[in-house]
């Protein structure tokens, strides 16, 4: 109910727009609230490190690298999704999920190729920090490559993890987000297929939470 001061002209389009933003915000809050702290932690690590929970169980296989591909569709325009997932991620993700990531600190560079960052995980995380290096970034073609090169998040069994992200526009003005993760292992690593599936589902939930936040805050 809107209690006006005197005569006020009501714009139906603005009411509709406000309703849509309120619904998007509700969905963002719902996505956040339905994640227990343990799930928030695990899902965010799955978003950044989709195979972390799979580096134990099943058969022991000697490998040099493990490659994992994930693809997610979104109703957001490609440029807006790239901005949220890449350009603004250092501030956006700690805002959405502070229990999982406290902050991201740039220790070298200006955000471009060669930049080194320290990811400080939040109180809900089992990890303390991870060192992240930007390998490539192309704002026009919406691609980004970075590596995790140090930190307890590598679990002592990985030399590094490299991520290749590409955002592709679709005909319906949405986009497809493609993520290839390459895990460079230290000798023998055990892979659990069920954990890979679980990690993918949690990463998808995190992606949707970010998407909902951006929809609720289109000017952010």
Is the pTM of the predicted complex or chain greater than 0.95? no
pLDDT > 70? residue 67:
yes
Domains of the chain: 12-216 (3.30.530.20)
Which two structure tokens, joined as six digits, stand for 188? 């023998």
The side-by-side arrangement of strands in the sheet containing 116-121 is 65-74, 175-185, 158-169, 143-151, 129-138, 116-121, 101-108
Which two structure tokens, joined as six digits, stand for 197? 């599936």
DSSP structure string for 115-133:
-EEEEEE-TT-S--EEEEE
Length of the chain as a residue count: 220
pLDDT in tens, 19-60: 555 555 445 544 444 444 333 343 444 445 544 444 433 334
Which two structure tokens, joined as six digits, stand for 50? 């989709």
Percent composition of the chain: helix, strand, coil (DSSP 3-state, to 5): 35, 35, 30
pLDDT at 114: 97
pLDDT in tens, 166-199: 999 999 999 999 999 888 888 776 666 676 677 6
pLDDT > 90? residue 17:
no
């Amino acid at each position: 109910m809107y209690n006006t001061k005197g005569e006020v002209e009501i714009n139906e389009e603005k009411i509709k727009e406000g309703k849509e933003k309120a619904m998007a915000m509700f969905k963002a809050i719902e996505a956040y609230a339905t994640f227990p702290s343990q799930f928030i932690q695990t899902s965010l690590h799955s978003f950044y490190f989709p195979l972390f929970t799979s580096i134990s169980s099943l058969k022991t296989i000697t490998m040099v690298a493990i490659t994992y591909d994930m693809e997610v569709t979104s109703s957001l325009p490609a440029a807006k999704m790239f901005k949220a997932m890449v350009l603004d991620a250092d501030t956006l993700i700690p805002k959405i999920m502070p229990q999982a990531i406290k902050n991201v600190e740039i220790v070298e560079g200006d955000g471009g190729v060669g930049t080194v960052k320290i990811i400080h995980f939040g109180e809900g995380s089992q990890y303390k920090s991870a060192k992240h290096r930007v390998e490539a970034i192309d704002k026009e073609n919406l691609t980004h490559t970075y590596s995790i090169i140090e930190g307890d998040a590598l679990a002592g069994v990985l030399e590094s993890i490299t991520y290749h992200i590409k955002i592709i526009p679709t005909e319906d003005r949405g986009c497809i987000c493609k993520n290839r993760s390459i895990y460079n292992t230290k000798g023998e690593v055990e892979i659990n297929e069920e954990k890979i599936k679980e990690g993918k589902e949690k990463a998808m939930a995190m992606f949707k939470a970010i998407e909902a936040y951006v929809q609720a805050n289109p000017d952010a």
